[in-house]
Structure 1
Amino acid sequence: MNNTFAQRIYSARKMAGLSMDELASLSGLSKNAISRYEKGIMKPDSANLLKLAKALKLKVDYFFRKSSVELQEVAFRKKAKLGIKSVESIKYRVIDRLEKYLELEEILMINNEFVNPIANASIHRIEEVEWSAAQVREKWNLGLNPITSIVEMLEDNFIKVVEVDEPMEFDGLSTFVNKKIPVIVVNQNFPVERKRFTLLHELGHLLLSFAGHFTQKEIESACNRFAGAILVPKSKMISELGISRKKIYAQELAEIQKEWGISIQASMYRARDLNIISQSKLSQFYFEYNTKQPFKDLVDESRYRSDEASFRFNQLLYKGLAQELISFSKASVLSEQSVNTLKTSLNFV
């Protein structure tokens, strides 16, 4: 029996976030039949295949494509109330997106070989994260100035960035595809500063290697520190705030947010990591932040001016169309847009 077909039925159901009972109800097929399809015991006839495709909102050819994506261990950041079904749906939608991404790169003969700039380093103390972040900035030629676009920086260094439209309970995930291609997935609904921080937190999961004594909670804290250190290098944070402070005005933090693209909250954590402020000062800040509306208004008024969106897939798609390496029909499948939408959105020069 066709195992590829069975796997695609299973993946499509997970991607849609449906149980077998729910898919049976939507398709008009029996739960037993769907189970047998997913186990590869039997295949649906053409009429039932069309019912499945309609219920799952997919084209029929999806079920006959062999998957080219194998995810390694996934570092998944989410809040507890994001259920297992939602987690599985995100995972399989990411796989579907990456299949199209890699197929497009293969058509264009793009070979992006990722190299971890700190592959030989191991973190034994959390303070060593500062050195690791500095090494990444140096080896990726980022200098010490604010990074205009984190997404662009990641994609320039051969890391796939996938944005998903999810509830705020989902933060992000990071993994390797086919054991060699790094991928970061982020919630597109986040404020720009949170999106930048999340992308770099997930980068920490991809790049950093931790000694065996680190707990998962300590690893998460270290990845947070790594994100802060990439956003604002130690020397620059000290230049902004000084070596030690007993008082910091919210307006100072707002200016740092606007210039560096790091949230006011993350700046305070960064200051605590570098011992610029005390733990009690950090606690006091969070009390005031959570209880004073003017403080929250200041955060919103001081947003970093950047879209932080990924455009690379679309750029490759348009390049393939312009060079006649892919047809509009193929581009339609890859981009999940109608042929007419694609054609009317493009202008030749």
Structure 2
Amino acid sequence: MQASVVTERVRHVIEESGLAHGEFAARAGLDSSKMSKSLSGTRRFTSLDLANIAEVGGVSVDYLLGVQSPEPALAARAASKAEAVQSGAIEEARRIAKFRHDLDFVFQRQRPVAEIRPTRGGGYIKQGEALAEQAANLMSRADGQTVMDLESDIERVFGFDVARVPAGRDCDGVAWRDEHCAVIVVSTTDSATRQRFTMAHELGHLLAEDDQALHIDQDVMHAADKTEKRANVFAANFLMPASRLRRESKGWNSGEASDLDFAHLVMDLGVSPSALSWRLFNLGLASDFRRRQLATFNTARCASLAKRTKELAKWTKESQTRRPPFGLAADLLVAYDHGAITLRPFANLLEVDVDDVRSLLEQGGGGNTNAGKDDQDFEP
């Protein structure tokens, strides 16, 4: 990339902002002389300069560099096709990806190394089962114990960014992958079990390395496409491990789950009664007659039977609440602490005032002594 292209684009961004050069430079953390020298070609913009200019100008670093951002592999599960392409979940995935692109330009994070090897043969059922087993082992779930804080564990183990946003009733969630990041965004909802299944479904897409354009299903629980079926097989095996269910079944007096046994399992695994009833039937742990009985239950009834209504209320409240990608937020703070970026990207991600963030960090003894210093020169 020629330096002239970078300076040309920086000039354009300044002009489009409507700010004087001096004011724009100040907002980007540069004094006027440095900005003038960089625009005249006697000084190179540093990577920190470009990150700050992109932030102030509302563009990406890739744009300033003249790099064409690749089209992501993106999959969406939607309740209906209407307006799904404009979903807030998709817009949030794009926003998170932009933060990742710009952060990777100025600061290389330590990514978790999770060894997942997608199985290509044997059909989508075997592939989904094998993938779920690998993921369970990596998340310390080989013993069948349930991970309730699924978002945090996905971020911790795989380094994927996970967020919840009000996406509207037309979208359950999306999975996004490009060369910089992998992102899962699910919609806030009253149905915590559906949200959890959607999250596992999207994780299945990312781990299987599905390379697909925008794909919308009418119902997340009933897929037609093979990659969607595989993601559902993954989610069922991941959230309802066969080893756990078979172990539980040994304590059932009648050989099948009683209403109370079933209610506790729904709450323990965080899945819908419908999904669990089918899983028990498919594993040979419930007759078709018993499956149809259990399928009439709802999550509220299970919580009441198990005397765990407070637990369900807390879980439902969380599923209705917006959640930022905390893994990305942590990485931005680390980059700030190393003097690679300012606090503004962190504040913008969380949609809070940067001065409030700075004040909180100062009260807690945080902050860095390198903020504002130039980093290594960007070599165009």
TM-score range, shorter chain: 0.5 to 0.7
Q: Structure 1 122/259 Cα, relative in aligned 2: closer, same or farther at 3 Å? A: same
| Equivalent residue, structure 1, for 2:57 | 61
1:9-62: CA deviation from partner (whole Å, max 9, x where unpaired): xxxxxxxxxxxxxxxxxxxxxxxxxxxxxxxxxx97949xxxxxxxxxxx8711
Flag structure 2 segments of 5+ consecutive residues without an equivalent: 7-14, 20-54, 211-222, 366-380
1:273 equivalenced with 2:274 (yes/no): no
Match of residue 125 from structure 2: 126
> How many angstroms apart in 1 are the aligned matches of 2:163 and 2:185?
5
| 1-structure distance, mates of 2:346, 2:305 | 44
- 2:134 — aligned with what? 135
2:297 corresponding residue in structure 1: 289
State which of 211, 231, 241 in structure 1 corresponds to 2:249: 241
Pairwise CA distance, 1:280: 4.0
Residue 141 of structure 1: how far off its partner (Å): 4.4
* 2:164/2:188 contact within 8 Å kept: yes
Structure ranking higher on relative contact order (CA contacts 8 Å, 6+ apart): 2
Matching of residues 104-253 of structure 1 within 5 Å: 104-112=103-111, 117-124=116-123, 126-127=125-126, 129-139=128-138, 141-144=140-143, 145-155=145-155, 156-178=157-179, 181-189=181-189, 191-208=191-208, 216-242=224-250, 248-253=257-262
Query: Is 1:317 aligned with 2:332?
Result: yes
Report the Cα distance in structure 2 between the residues aligned to 1:71 and 1:335, rounded to whole angstroms: 25
TM-score, normalised to structure 1, is 0.67
With normalisation by structure 2, the TM-score equals: 0.62
Flag the structure with larger Rg. 2
The offset of 1:339, in angstroms, is: 1.8
Q: Deviations over 1:153-205 (max 9, x none)?
A: 22122222232222243211113113x63322212335443333221111222
Q: Is the 8 A contact 1:78 1:172 kept in 2?
A: yes
The offset of 1:102, in angstroms, is 3.7
- Distance in 1, Cα, partners of 2:326 & 2:17: 40
Mark the runs of 5 or more structure 1 residues left unpaired by the alignment. Answer: 5-42, 48-58
Aligned Cα RMSD in Å? 4.0
2:364 aligned with 1:348, yes or no? yes
Aligned length: 291
| CA pair 322-110 structure 1, distance change in 2 beyond 3 A | closer
1:273–1:85 CA distance, 2 compared to 1 (3 A): same
Q: CA deviation at 1:237?
A: 0.6
- The answer to whether the Cα contact below 8 Å between 1:122 and 1:208 also exists between their aligned partners in 2 is no
Amino acid of the structure 2 residue aligned with 1:153: D
Q: Is the 8 A contact 1:121 1:209 kept in 2?
A: no
The farther-off stretch of 238-247 and 129-138 is 238-247
Asked if the contact 2:187/2:195 (under 8 Å) is kept, the reply is yes
Instruction: Give identity over the alignment, percent.
Output: 19
Q: Deviations over 1:63-121 (max 9, x none)?
A: 4754575343322100115424533x543442122211342354442153765612344
- Alpha carbons 2:176, 2:184 under 8 Å: kept: yes
Mapping for residues 19-38 of structure 1, pairs under 5 Å: none
1:263 correspondence with 2:263: no
User: Is the 1:123–1:208 contact (alpha carbons within 8 Å) kept by the matching residues of 2?
Assistant: no
Q: Say if 1:177 and 1:219 are closer, same or farther in 2 by CA, change over 3 A.
A: closer
Local SS of the residue matching 1:196 = helix
1:208 to 1:329, Cα distance in 2 relative to 1, 3 A: closer
In 2, Cα distance between equivalents of 1:189 and 1:120: 33
8 Å Cα contact 2:162/2:183 also seen in 1: yes
Deviates more, 1:109-118 or 1:243-252: 243-252
Corresponding residue for 1:326? 341
Instruction: Tell me: CA distance 1:209–1:90, structure 2 relative to 1, closer, same or farther (3 Å).
Output: closer
Structure-2 separation of matches of 1:235 and 1:248: 15
